[in-house]
Amino acid sequence: MSNPPIRLGVALLAALSLGLGACSDSSAPSSNLNALSIGEAQSLGADVAQDMDDLAEFSSFDATTGVEFAVSSSGARINTPPPSCATITPLPPVNSDGDLVPDSVRFAYNDCVFTRGNGVIIDSLSGTIDFLDPLPLVSSVGVKHVFTDFRRSRTNTAFPARSFSAVHNGIRQWGASPDTLGHAVTNFVTVRTFAGGRSHIHSKDWVSKFTATTPGTIAFGQPLPAGTWTLDGTGSWTNGNRTWTESITTTTPLLYDPTCAVAPRFTAGRLDLVMTRNTEVTNVQIDFTGCGQVVITRTVGGTV
């Protein structure tokens, strides 16, 4: 059985820019309890689209803030955190090989709260991210991030139903040259919680590669330039008391546009997911069709 595409536009995906989706789940189980419902496929696609955008965001190292976390009303990132937002230890850091990455630095986000929209929107961070040099005695370009209960949350006082949070735990590691970047996500778990207590759990082991459109334009410590992403991996996705195993592949490389102000920042490309529960397969196709634009197609059928 197949279904027409599910379209997620700019207005919806703007809500994903803090690493979580505020879309309606509409996830009442289908007649086949092992298949993803249309609403679940939509939610899964939104989660994966934001996870992909996170690959770009975390493929850089900011020695001041550790991570871009704020968004303006237009959706663009704000790089300056509130005063005393992140506590860095040790300070000064140890850098045995003298490259641009210290041996080990912990960013603890303790008081990262700021408001916008005349106080209607309240964004906050908490938890820790450790930044480690994978080769502390050899000059190289690469960073290992260890996330421990790193939470991004948003409270919308005017529309409480649009409030949400995401908690990240796991390891990200990347290494780069001026032309390409490899990014591995290992045993990484994101728990997204929405108004009313509904939650999704996305676990993943992914390997991806970024290739700059213009060779030589990947600069350490700077946001990524325009380029393409490919992704392959496995994982699982849980909604309520039902869990599916996940296999994900890149059918068409994703075209990354750093000038796009709305997550996900891809203007073309396609990902294909095979979601399995009790031998029942649900195929989910994610097409990136423009800045902040995603089309999700669900197909149910087949056994393994």
Inter-residue contact 52 to 22 (CB < 8 Å): no
Question: How many residues are recorded in the chain?
Answer: 304
What is the C-alpha separation between 42 and 50, in angstroms, rounded?
Answer: 12
pLDDT beyond 60 at 15: no
Inter-residue contact 275 to 298 (CB < 8 Å): no
| Pair of tokens at residue 139 | 């000059």
Neighbouring C-beta atoms of residue 216, cutoff 10 Å: 10
Nearest to 243 by CA among 19, 44, 54: 44
User: pLDDT higher for 25 or 278?
Assistant: 278
Residue 45 main-chain phi, psi, to 5 deg: -60, -40
Nearest to 203 by CA among 54, 51, 69, 55: 51
Residue 41 main-chain phi, psi, to 5 deg: -60, -40
Q: What digits encode the pLDDT tens for the residues 150-181?
A: 998 888 888 887 788 899 999 999 888 899 99
Domain-by-domain residue ranges, the chain?
Answer: 18-278
Place of tokens 């334009």: 217
Side-chain half-sphere of 40: how many Cα atoms within 13 Å? 26
Q: What digits encode the pLDDT tens for the residues 271-299?
A: 999 999 999 999 999 999 999 999 999 99
Inter-residue contact 74 to 261 (CB < 8 Å): yes
What is the C-alpha separation between 179 and 201, in angstroms, rounded?
Answer: 34
Q: What digits encode the pLDDT tens for the residues 110-127?
A: 878 877 777 788 888 899
Is the full-model pTM beyond 0.75?
yes
Place of tokens 């590669």: 209
Contacts of 158 (CB under 8 A, 6+ apart): 117, 120
Query: For 46, which DSSP code?
Result: H
